Each structure stands twice: as structure tokens, then as C-alpha cells.
Amino acid sequence: MTDDSTDGAGEGPTVRSATLSAREDCPDATIETRDGTVVCRGHVRGRDGAAIVALDGATYDAGTNELRVVVVTETDPDAGPMSIQALVNLGYEVAVELDGGLPESVTLVEDDADGRREALTASL
């Protein structure tokens, strides 16, 4: 998935692309930079075995100089009726490529079976 959203266009960095990759492991929430790319890792909890991790958005706000990355769980449309009926942990990594530099801060938001919360905020 790619999200090119930018609030306050023309001021500060712009989001070129944002990609989510599922991970086998379920790391604690982290935010780092790698070659001008912001990388967020963590895990969310799905309600059952039909849950998948998805990127809801990566947006830059020029007013606060903040990048906000939102990761959610969704129901896999290909999941059958025999999915595991238990909470599942879903690891992820989101890579956000920016043009025009890095934001001052990044906030990682997770929205899953436990509710919506700011998992981590980091200054860059």
C-alpha cells in the first residue's frame, strides 16, 4: 500500500511512499531512520485467525512537523470460516520514504483488538 498524503504541501518533507511488510516476529514498537527512510516496527493483535495487518496511512503535518503512521488490523477477505477463534499477534514493518528531509517527530499509532493508541512517539 502507498499513501502520498501530505498536509501543508510545500512546507517540509513530503511522503513519497509508504509500504507495510508483515513480519514473522512480533517486535516491540520502534521508530528509526535508515538512509532517509523512516522505519516503524511493531505488532498488533487481531481478533482471530482471519485478521491481517494493514497500513491505514502515513501523513506529514507541516504545522507540527510530525509524520503520523497508522497501522490497523482488518479481516482477510480470503479467510475461511474455520479461522482460529483466538487473539493473534501480527508483526509488521512500515517503511516511509520522504522527499525534502525528515520530520521533527514520528508518531506510530496502532488500532487493533485492544483499541486505538499511540504506540510510540520519537524525535528524529
pTM for the predicted model, two decimal places: 0.88
Mean pLDDT, all residues of the chain: 91
Q: Is 124 within a domain?
A: no
Q: Flag whether 18 is in a domain.
A: yes
- Looking at per-residue confidence, does 56 or 84 come out higher? 56
Q: How many domains does the chain have?
A: 1
Domain of 64, in residue numbers = 6-114
Q: Band of the pLDDT at 10, cuts 50, 70, 90?
A: low
Angle at 71 between CA 27 and CA 105, to 5 degrees: 85
pLDDT digits 0-9 by tens, 49-81: 999 999 999 999 999 999 999 999 999 988 877
Burial class (CB in 10 A: 0-12, 13-18, 19+), 6: buried
In a domain, 121, yes or no: no
